[in-house]
Structure 1
Amino acid sequence: MAETRLLAGLLVLGAGAAGWGAAYPTPAHAEAEAAQNLPAAVERYALAWASRDAARIAALHTDDSVFHLVIEGEPPVVGRAAIAARFARILADNPAYSSTPRTVNFGADFVVIEYDFVMAPPRAFVMGERRYEPRGTTYSVPAIDIITFRDGLVSRKATYLDTAVIAANSDAVQ
């Protein structure tokens, strides 16, 4: 819950810094703001991730949404059902998942979030072309999400994470 409050606080800070609510927004900015309330959509998405419920998270994606975990050998998945299955696998591989945002930056229809997430995998897992054997430790992994929204739902999400940190906390990386 702490990570959700922190994200909500960062959303308010990021929204102010990005010019949301400015007295004289540009016409394009005003149009984008009217089309969707991006900070509220991001907050709903953060709450879904905090719930660790893959179906709840995927429900906030468009039918044609694309999720790409950008690491070697990990192809993008397309569609809400495929995304729900991929998120379920991610959460099963890391049931202790939680995250702490470092920065949140808004664009007209997207957000860039730099964060750290907790890993404490209970068993070996595969990401991309590599199999990781956990050592039974808990550690933090830096990551960046670039999330594009359409009509208040995620239409594309690209996640970049530091696999070197995961490898450094694993045995027999193959």
Structure 2
Amino acid sequence: MTSAPARLAARYGEAWNAHDLDAVMALHTDDTAFRLHLLDAPELTGRAAVRDGFAGLLALWPDIAFHTDRLVPGDGFFVHQYVVTGTLAAPMPFGAALARPTGSAVHFSGVDVITLSGELVHRKETYLDTAGAAARLGVFDGAGAAAR
């Protein structure tokens, strides 16, 4: 039998891969929070702020897809380890550098730690392989990068 967190994780992943922001947000609490642990990205709190943040990510990576490597459901949480694939559509800051779109899809790994409230996402903590992403976007070698 599949646990409630595992079922929620499956629905959540399907909504993200469908780029269905309404379906993603339907799985969040009203007081939800999102933190992308990327450089100095701020924590977003509340449904409207989180939705705006997610909309920005989907605009920046319009073909983004998440491929599960491992899913660990627990009591009131799940951990999702994945490979993300996408094509950068607009310049994106990487510290002092600026990654520029190359027109090619890149892939890098990530981990989400999702805390639940009942059967809804209360908190989403996202950790990405920023060094791998920056390397694949050419930030380190200058291909696709520029000083900010």
Which category of TM-score, normalised to the shorter sequence, fits these structures?
0.7 to 0.9
Q: Which amino acid aligns with 1:153?
A: L
**Do residues 46 (structure 1) and 13 (structure 2) align?**
yes
Q: 2:118 aligns with which of 142, 151, 169?
A: 151
Q: Does 1:88 find its partner at 2:65?
A: no
Please give the alpha-carbon distance, in whole angstroms, between the structure 1 residues aligned to 2:69 and 2:31: 29
CA positional deviation for 1:127 = 6.5
* Paired residue secondary structure (2:35): strand
The one-letter code sitting in structure 2 at the alignment partner of 1:100 is H
| Structure having the higher Rg | 1
Look up the match of 1:111: 78
Distance (Å, rounded) in 1 between the aligned partners of 2:21 and 2:98:
22
* CA deviation vs aligned residue, 1:134-159 (integer Å, no higher than 9, x gap): 22221111000000111110000100
The verdict on how the C-alpha distance between 1:127 and 1:172 changes in structure 2, with shifts beyond 3 A counting, is closer
Q: Which amino acid aligns with 1:97?
A: I
Mean Cα deviation higher: 128-137 or 141-150: 128-137
Among residues 23, 36, 58, which one is paired with 2:25 in the alignment? 58
Identity %: 33
Structure 2: which 5+ runs fail to align?
Answer: 139-144
Instruction: Determine if contact 1:119/1:141 at 8 Å carries over to the other structure.
Output: no
Q: Is 1:164 matched with 2:131?
A: yes
Deviation at 1:128, TM superposition (A): 7.4
Aligned partner of residue 54 in structure 2, secondary structure: helix
Runs of 4+ more than 3 Å apart? 126-131
With the length of structure 2 as denominator, give the TM-score of the two structures. 0.86
- Give 1 or 2: higher helix fraction: 1
Distance 2:42 2:107 in 1: 24
| Distance (whole Å) between structure 1 residues aligned to residue 77 and residue 39 of structure 2 | 24
- What is the count of residue pairs matched by the alignment? 141
Q: Say what the alpha-carbon RMSD is for the aligned residues.
A: 2.0
- After TM superposition, list the pairs within 5 Å mapping 1:28-47 onto structure 2: 37-47=4-14
What are the ranges of 5 or more consecutive residues in structure 1 without an aligned counterpart?
1-11, 21-36
- For the 8 Å contact 2:96–2:147, the answer to whether it is kept is no
Which residue of the partner structure matches residue 99 of structure 2? Answer: 132
Counterpart of 1:47, as a letter, is E
The equivalent residue for 1:8 is none
Structure 1: distance between partners of 2:96 and 2:125: 18
Q: Is the 8 A contact 2:13 2:66 kept in 1?
A: no
Shift in Å, 1:73? 1.0
Q: For 1:91, what is the secondary structure of its paired residue?
A: helix
Q: 1:173 and 1:71, CA in 2 relative to 1: closer, same or farther beyond 3 A?
A: farther
